[in-house]
Structure formats: C-alpha cells, structure tokens
Structure 1
Amino acid sequence: MTRDRDPVSPPVALTIAGSDSGGGAGIQADLKAMTAHGVFGTAVVTATTAQNTRGVEDVHAVPADHVASQYDAVVEDFDVGAVKTGMLATAPIVETAAGLLARRPAPVVVDPVMVAATGDRLLSPAAEAAYEGLIERATLVTPNADEAAVLVDEPVETPADAAAAGRELVARGAGAALVKGGHLDGDAESVVDTLVIGDEEAAADPTVRRFENPRVATDATHGSGCALSSAIAARLARGEHLTDAVAGAIDGMEAVIRRGYDVGEGPGAVNPAAFDGGA
C-alpha cells in the first residue's frame, strides 16, 4: 500500500561560512540551528577545515568565483528569507560576499569570524579591512568582544565599551550590532550581551538594550557564535522583528551551551539541537 506525500514548506535561510570537519561549528552548527527553528537551511561553503574538538590543523579556502557560483545556484532556486555569514577566510571572499548580498533584499546577519578562542587573529589585514563593505550590508553584525575590538580598533573590555563599539558599527552602516559578552569577564556569574539598534529600529525600541543571563560553567563553547547568529537568521527568515529574533535566540543559548555535546578529547561543543525554536 502506498501513501500520499505530505510535504512541508518551511522558510529558507542561507549560511555562507566554512566547514568544520569536527562538526561542532561552521556550516554544520549553522544548519543544525536552522533546523531546530523549523527553517530549511541552505549553504555556501567558503573554506574547508581540518579540525576536531582539540583545534584546527589546516584551512583550505574555496576560490571566490566558486563561492559566487554556489550562491547563485541557491538564490536562483530558493526564496531565501535571511542570510548569515560566518568564516569568510580571505579578502576576495569577503568582497565577493558583500557584492552578492548587495543584490538581495533579505536580512543579513554578519558573524565576523576574526579571532580564535586562543586570541589569534584568523584573517589577514586585507581581509579584516574588507569587512567594512560587508558591515554596510548587514542588518545585524554579531561580533564577540575581541572581534568588536578589531572592527572598531578600540579595546572592548566592559559593557560600556561594548555599547560604544556597537554604536560605531551602526555608524559605519550596520542596521544593528550585537556585541556578545562571553569574553568580557570570564569570572563573572552572568554574561551581558549588548544590542545597539540603528535609527530605523530605534523608533520602536531603545537605542541600547542589554541581555543578562547566567554564565554556564563550561569551556565547551565551540560553535556558540555560529549557533547564535544562525538562530537569529532563522528567526528573521520566519518574519520575526529584529529585536524579538535577537532576544529569542539569546534566550535559547543557555540550553544550547548547558546541554552541549561531550564528544572527542577536547572540551566539546555546543548543541544547536537544544534550541526550542520558539515556535
């Protein structure tokens, strides 16, 4: 006996990011977070990495023209409701992404993957400089404190610094900036994330909004930035207001970190499947 097909038609989001062979971050984490929010995830791979829970051993960037080909293939077939960018690897890829996204009306979440957990810079000076053009296209940019310091060329060590950095990023063209607070004070019992909203949004919301949540006592935060930015993009693809999308995604991160994966010989990784999706 055959059965009738009963398909679903979820919103579609796109991640433009690198692949993590260890499965904890990058494209792999992005797609898990999107699925957890009931969104169909599509992907443009910018680089492949040889990594696991202990660290990164090798990175191979994809040619920029192939990044463009992947992007064109996706948008020609899918109604993409939101885009997020992660690891972009090289200046030509950053510039290519900025040019491609300039043609799209969909919201864009830029997660500027620039600084490793060790504090090492991941991009060349040329690639860091190329982010100026991408920030201008961003509906939201989501740096951690170290990345915000690189972008604005000022130290970011306190929530007040985070607000100042967010205002600067908005002044440079971003619609809004979420400066993540996980790196601000590792000994604090709570994490303070700072959202700075541009003029268009400010009519309905405060210019600066802070989200304070208990810190989870763990070093297993690999993939947390990917999961958060992808969750925000998924919520935007579903049509949520920017502030609601940010608040909902941040609220879900406690479970994503607390219920993280204990796999491999390193600290482990976050669990994007733990998002409740907010649906």
Structure 2
Amino acid sequence: MNNVLSIQSHVVFGHAGNSAAVFPMRRMGINVWPLNTVQFSNHTQYGRWTGSVADADELTRVIEGIGAIGVLSRCNAILSGYLGSPEQGAAVVEIVRMVKAVNPKARFFCDPVMGTTSGCNVEPGIQEFLVSTMPEIADAMTPNHIELQKLTGRTIETVDEAVAACRELIARGPKVVLVKHLIDKNSRADTFNMLAVTETEAWFAQRPLYPFARQPVGVGDLTSAIFLARTLLGDSVRGALEHTLAAVNAVVRTTFQAGRYELEIVASQDEIAYPTERFPALGVDSE
C-alpha cells in the first residue's frame, strides 16, 4: 500500500487542508500520515478563527520520531499545502530530504498555497519562500492560475501561455505541473479549466463552473490530493487529470445541489473513488 505524508493545515470544522485531503486519499486506497502545520477552528475565509500554528521544529521532530522506529522508508510521497510560517517551509524542505535519504523513490508534491484568494490568509514571507525555493525541491507542483503567475513572473491569459509558464517552471525542477484552476480568456464563463503539463505533454480539460453564492473552500486541497493519489495508483498524467476533474466535479456538484458552503466530501465518497461522469482531456500543442 502507498503511504503519503501530508503536511498541511487542519481545521476542526469544515474541509480545508488535511481536512479536505486525508479522507479522499484514504477512500482511494492510499494510507495517509497527516502532519498538521496549523490547527484552526475553521478555515480563514470565514474572516474569524481560533487556533495555533505548529512550531517548525516540532514538524521535523515528528518525522524524526517516525524515522526512529524504522518506518520512514515506507513513505512513497510527501504532499505539502498551507504553511503557517516561512520557517515551516524550511522544515518541509528538510523533511523531504529526510524522507528521500531513506527512500530515494519518494516524490514530493508541492501545493504552493499563497493566499491569493479572497479571505485566505498566509503569513508574510511564505509566498517569497515558495517562489524562490520550492520549484527546485518539488517533483510536482499544483498551483492555481495566480500562483502559477507568481511562480513564473508571467501574466497568463490563454492555455498556450499557461503551458509555456508550466514548462518554464518545469525547467527549474518539477516533472509535472497541475494547474488546479486555469483562467483562459478564450473559454466560456461557465466552465472550470484545468491543465496538466510535463516536458513533453500538455493536457487541458474542463468541467462545469457552478454558480455558488460564495465558492466553497478546500477545492484546491482536494484536487491536489486526488491527483497525487491517482498518480501513485499508476495513472498516466492524462488519466490522473481526468479522474481528478471528474471526482472534484462530483464533490462540488453535490455541494451545490445541497446548498452548502463546506464541501460535501463524505457524501461524495463513492464518486471520489469511482466517478460516474467523466470529462475528456485534450492534448495541447503550444508550439
């Protein structure tokens, strides 16, 4: 069985960070080791929350403890998301090195959460750390549109421009870039776009964009987790993209139909594992 070390935020109420990522991965047959960067009462887009940020040294000490009992080599992948401080970013880099020292085949998937959506708060310095450091460390990155622009210093308006930006990022280190939400000026306003790019492949896919009064939080965390899980389970880049888009669509559709703000992840669990509605990915020629 594949084991994923998931280093993200945790909210007691609702679904964001590990609270959106752990259960879906487990439902797909992936064993998850959650390591929480923060513990908050709820996600920050409510505008108020309580809780605390984990000490960066505590994160590395936890992993040292796993190493001390001789099982760290069983870790197949690391997934990082919301960071509570720049120091935690440095701890994540150290943890990745610790895991790869005992399992060189382990892969690091970085979800570079920069607080670019309204109401999503990250501490000063985190964005700069993600831009300057993570591309050289990560095996895969899963930015959204704005994060991809910040990672590459580019303005992106089309699919071709996004592919070029992803390839620029790939030249720094990661083998694959998943753009969790791509804003394409040529696409219809009622579509939600995703893009997966490697050095030699580029796949573009769309699902419906549901007209929420306020968009639910945690969709990006859910997306990164499912894409990682499907990759570990042996899907091609195209296959992982198609499964991810279909599974996330099922969760978002169920949430919209229920009139909820928090993601209906548990209610959608069967569709996460075996989505019934699929959306074909199309190859992109950006030359």
Please, what TM-score do these two structures have when normalized by structure 2?
A: 0.79
Matches within 5 A, 1:1-279: 10-51=1-42, 54-58=46-50, 60-74=52-66, 76-77=70-71, 79-103=74-98, 104=100, 105-118=105-118, 122-124=122-124, 126-131=125-130, 132-181=132-181, 188-198=189-199, 202=200, 206=201, 208-218=202-212, 219-260=214-255, 267-271=261-265, 273-278=269-274
Shift of 1:189: 1.9
Partner amino acid, structure 1, of 2:193: V
Could you list the runs of 5+ residues in structure 1 that have no partner in the other structure?
1-9
Distance 1:217-1:12 versus aligned 2 partners, 3 A rule: same
Superposed CA deviations along residues 113-145 of structure 1, whole A, max 9, x for unmatched, are 112431766242x32232232222222111111
Compute the TM-score of the two structures, normalised by the length of structure 1.
0.81
Against the structure 1 CA distance between its residues 120 and 259, is the aligned structure 2 distance closer, same or farther, given a 3 Å change threshold? closer
**3-state secondary structure, aligned to 1:269:** coil
- The secondary structure found in structure 2 opposite 1:143 is coil
Query: 3-state DSSP class of the match of 2:42?
Result: strand
Cα 1:65/1:173, change in 2 over 3 Å? same
How far residue 258 of structure 1 moved from its aligned partner, in angstroms, is 0.7
Q: Identify the residue that residue 5 of structure 1 maps to in structure 2.
A: none
Deviation at 1:95, TM superposition (A): 1.5
RMSD of equivalent CA atoms? 2.9
Instruction: Identify if the C-alpha distance between structure 1 residues 59 and 184 changes in structure 2 by more than 3 Å, giving closer, same or farther.
Output: farther
Amino acid of the structure 1 residue aligned with 2:25: M
Cα distance in 1 between the residues matched to 2:107 and 2:274: 19
Deviation (angstroms), 1:111: 0.8
Q: Counterpart amino acid of 2:272?
A: D
Partner SS, residue 29 of structure 1: helix
Contact 1:17 1:85 in 2 (8 A): yes
Alpha-carbon offset, residue 21 of structure 1: 2.5
- Quick check: 236-245 or 140-149, which moved more? 236-245
AA at the equivalent of 2:77: A
Deviations 1:217-247 (A, max 9, x none): 3344311111111112222333444443233
Higher relative contact order, chain-length normalized (CA < 8 Å, sep 6+) = 1
Look up the SS of the partner of 1:181 in the other structure.
strand
